[in-house]
Structure 1
Amino acid sequence: MGEKKTDNEFERNEIVRELIDDFAEQIKRLAYTYVKNWAVADDITQEVFISCFKNIEHFRGESSYKTWLFKITVNRCKDYLKSKWFRSMVPFRGDEKVEVAASLDEILVQKSEGEEISQKVLSLSVKYREVIILFYYEDLGLQEIEELTGIKTETVKTRLRRAKLQLRELYKEVE
């Protein structure tokens, strides 16, 4: 019987290793779109895979592993953004702009291709940024986004439309 448990543990370890190889970078990018901090995104990515490791036996297969991991990531990010620690980190009123020194990672990302659109997408509010990232960057369908976020498909469509309109306006301001 001990051998069976060892086989299950080996299988679980292998599945999690494959998931890390396949999705770690996507999870980190997704987390960054919420928290806008690479160090925190790294931490959240680690938390996601720890949770995955602990709960892999409970995965029911009702969605893909990718969708399951993205849901864990979104929930961790939202928990972080609601946390007392996060809210106390940058004391400011909602109408003030706060300049934060960029880390080396953030500077390199900003200088990479697609900087302009990435910055504009990141400037959107979370509810619009979330659907744009999931739909266009992560190639999830409307149904998958609904399953992942709990937001009805019609609302996802509306948010996508409004996000695109906001992005167009941001581009008009530049011209």
Structure 2
Amino acid sequence: MGHSKLEVEAGFYDIVETYLNDIRKVIFTYVKDYHMVEDITQEVFLTVFHKLKDFRGESSMKTWILKIAINKSKDYLKSWNYRKVQLTSWLKEEPGANEVERTVMNKLQNHELAETIMKLPLKYREVVILYYYHDFDTNEISFLLNLNVNTVKTRLLRSKDLLKRRFDFNE
């Protein structure tokens, strides 16, 4: 027996309300641009809306949606639009571009650590954020990023080493 259109829409809005902030945080860790976070978030939920009927429950709803968000973020980082924005920003510094990043970072418990994490290469930053800030285990991260579990563990260890070294140099 199928669900009515109103039931489907109500269920979708519950999903948006439940996962919106998590999705925004994950996307920001990739793109570091508040305006793009909103655009990509809309793309993520549009995809979720269209593919919700295909969700088979092989992972949690949160894991499934975060995987979509990560893939959309990575697609954006590979796009010509992103490269063009980066080049334009480099040629003429936009006032306030770092202001948004600073605001987000101030909300994290340890400002210095958060800044250092955001400076890590993406492959290390993403596992740190998912593991420590979103409490995913290595198996879930493996699924989200389409990586071998051992690769995830290696990247976590490597990121810890990088963070330790950066803090040692700062003291």
TM norm. shorter chain > 0.5: yes
In the alignment, is the contact (CA less than 8 A) between 1:109 and 1:115 conserved in 2? Answer: no
Instruction: Please give the per-residue CA displacement for 1:89-137, whole angstroms capped at 9, x wherever unaligned.
Output: 2229xxx9x9654345334224334221111110001000010011111
1:163 aligned partner, one-letter code: S
How many residues matched?
167
2:100 aligned partner, one-letter code: D
Distance 1:11 1:62 in 2: 23
Indicate the SS of the match to 1:91.
helix
Displacement of 1:15: 2.1
Does residue 151 of structure 2 align to residue 155 of structure 1?
Answer: yes
Does residue 8 of structure 2 align to residue 12 of structure 1?
Answer: yes
The residue aligned with 1:43 is 39
Does residue 142 of structure 2 align to residue 146 of structure 1?
Answer: yes
Residue range with higher mean Cα deviation, 74-83 or 17-26: 17-26
The residue aligned with 1:70 is 66
1:86 aligned partner, one-letter code: Y
Distance 1:130 1:83 in 2: 19
Distance 2:26 2:54 in 1: 23
The residue aligned with 1:174 is 170
The residue aligned with 1:130 is 126
Indicate the SS of the match to 1:140.
coil
The residue aligned with 2:160 is 164
- Aligned with 1:86 (options 82, 87, 104): 82
Seen in structure 2, the aligned counterparts of structure 1 residues 169 and 102 have a Cα distance that, compared at 3 Å, is: farther
Seen in structure 2, the aligned counterparts of structure 1 residues 67 and 110 have a Cα distance that, compared at 3 Å, is: closer
Q: Give aligned-pair identity as a percent.
A: 37
Alpha-carbon RMSD across the aligned residues, in angstroms, is 2.0
Distance 2:164 2:66 in 1: 27
1:111 aligned partner, one-letter code: N
Distance 1:136 1:100 in 2: 31
Distance 1:99 1:168 in 2: 31
The residue aligned with 1:30 is 26
In the alignment, is the contact (CA less than 8 A) between 1:12 and 1:53 conserved in 2? Answer: no
In the alignment, is the contact (CA less than 8 A) between 2:33 and 2:100 conserved in 1? Answer: no
Seen in structure 2, the aligned counterparts of structure 1 residues 72 and 58 have a Cα distance that, compared at 3 Å, is: same
Does residue 107 of structure 2 align to residue 109 of structure 1?
Answer: no
Seen in structure 2, the aligned counterparts of structure 1 residues 157 and 100 have a Cα distance that, compared at 3 Å, is: farther
Distance 2:142 2:56 in 1: 18
Residue range with higher mean Cα deviation, 118-127 or 12-21: 12-21
Displacement of 1:170: 1.2
Instruction: Structure 1: give runs of 5+ residues left out of the alignment.
Output: none
Seen in structure 2, the aligned counterparts of structure 1 residues 83 and 42 have a Cα distance that, compared at 3 Å, is: same
